[in-house]
Amino acid sequence: MATTRQLRGRWAEGVAAAHLAELGWRILARNVRIGRDEVDLLCVDPGPPEELAFVEVRGLRHGGFGAPEERVDRRKVSHLYRAMSALLALGRLPDGTALPGLSARVDLLLVDGREAPLELRHMRRLMPP
């Protein structure tokens, strides 16, 4: 049985994936685990230029906990870069699917559902810590 936190995470990831797909992005995988790290969405941004995007999704449905972006700290960004580096070095996903030979970046997509209408904020190219 999924926890409330897991259900909220799945909701935010579903909203984010649908949003990116509507923009023409190709979703290669969701919840990719590499070692102890995880990437929420692995996508191809059609660009131009076309790029591989390792996307961290953060969502918030109820007030009281601050903005979603306030919950992404240096440690989390470091883990995302570590996961990206490991997957690029491997050249494939854990299931064996080959990664496209594109330049890569780390993004943050915020799903803020505290007020209607739903607000999405996309921060591209997070800088490594």
All structural domains of the chain: 4-123 (3.40.1350.10)
**Residue 69 pLDDT > 90:** no
Average pLDDT in the chain: 90
The tokens for 107 are 């993004």
Task: Using the predicted structure, report yes or no on whether residue 117 has a pLDDT greater than 90.
Answer: no
- Decide: 67 and 79 in contact? Cβ < 8 Å: no
Stated pTM of the model: 0.90
Per-residue pLDDT reduced to its tens digit, 20-65: 999 999 999 999 999 999 999 999 999 999 999 999 999 876 665 5
With contact defined as beta carbons under 8 Å apart, do 93 and 81 qualify? Answer: no
Name residue, tokens 């935010």: 12
